[in-house]
Amino acid sequence: MNMKVLLVTGGAGFIGSNFINLFLRKYKDFTLVNIDKLTYAGNLDNLKEIEGVPRYHFIKGDICNSDLVSYVFKQFNPDYIINFAAESHVDKSIKNPSLFIKSNVSGTLNLLQWAYNTWKKNGFDDKRFLQISTDEVYGSLKNNDDLFYETSNLLPNSPYSASKASADLLVRSFTKTYKMPAIITRCCNNYGPYQNAEKFIPTCIINALKEGLIPIYGEGNNVREWIHVTDHCEAVTNALFYGKVGEIYNIGTGNEISNINMAKTILNVLGRPQDSIIKITDRPGHDIRYALDSSKIKNELNWFPSYKLIEGIVDTVKWYVDNKSWWDK
């Protein structure tokens, strides 16, 4: 069997680990290499089910490290790259913007340069670089009717989203300048198994399980569009194999809900009282609403989400209930 090699960065994180578990089960003709520097958000426990799989290789390291990335290219010669690696917490980006520029911009540039230098020798034949981005690069919608399109202006409002927008523009520049076979996906908010406790939905679930209070910024009227991580991973796979080089694909579900109503939904599922919510001082530059037009990936790549929101939330709550040992560390 002629094995292709897929390099995944940030594969011990929430979305990356879900993707790796799904991909290795589904595609038996791939070797998968995972680089992750194992910050607080990276957890090898997320990948226990594939430990010992001969087609899987884990390398602890930072994508900003040129020597490390050089070694990986020379050792494994990847055909495809998916860049999940990123600092992603908005509050942390407000406190330490330079960390986000280093990981999200410099790290992406390092990967692009090594991919270009390695792949150009054979004219990029059958190669793909997929940059995982976010709907936050578009900024904030001011009313309930607008949507973000792939052609919408980039108007990031936090250091995190600015770093992701910068990385997207770098990827675009490599496609235009060097003919790099790259694709960008921009997804709405994810939820599901293995999400770090710092994120909104795990915070709601874990605090409710501990019979504590759920903190909500401001009045909690900020609206987000939500996708189960499995649906996101399926969309990423479609984009990797069938996406058109140089294109951007929004990945969304149309499942919108305000933060306060999401918290109430989780409390309902767990049978906890609605007064378990506490309102706290709002985050600086807090975006009001995100919502994506995802018709392009549906029409061109035949991807459609499978999870309805309440079904996915119930499924996720059950996972955290059943896996206390994972999050209680």
The catalytic residues are: 135-136, 160
- Between CA 72 and CA 125 the distance in angstroms is 19
CA 50 centroid distance within chain: 20
DSSP label of 140? -
- Between CA 247 and CA 68 the distance in angstroms is 29
- Strands of 37-146 (E only): list them: 56-60, 80-83, 128-134
Q: Which CA distances in Å does 140 have to 9, 168, 186?
A: 28, 18, 14
Residues 6+ apart with CB under 8 A from 280: 215, 216, 217
- Between CA 12 and CA 86 the distance in angstroms is 11
> How many other β-carbons are positioned within 10 Å of the β-carbon of residue 210?
9
- Strands of 61-201 (E only): list them: 80-83, 128-134, 182-187, 189-191
Question: What tokens does 209 get?
Answer: 């399980």
CA angle 224, 236, 32 (to 5 degrees): 130
First to last CA, the chain: 41
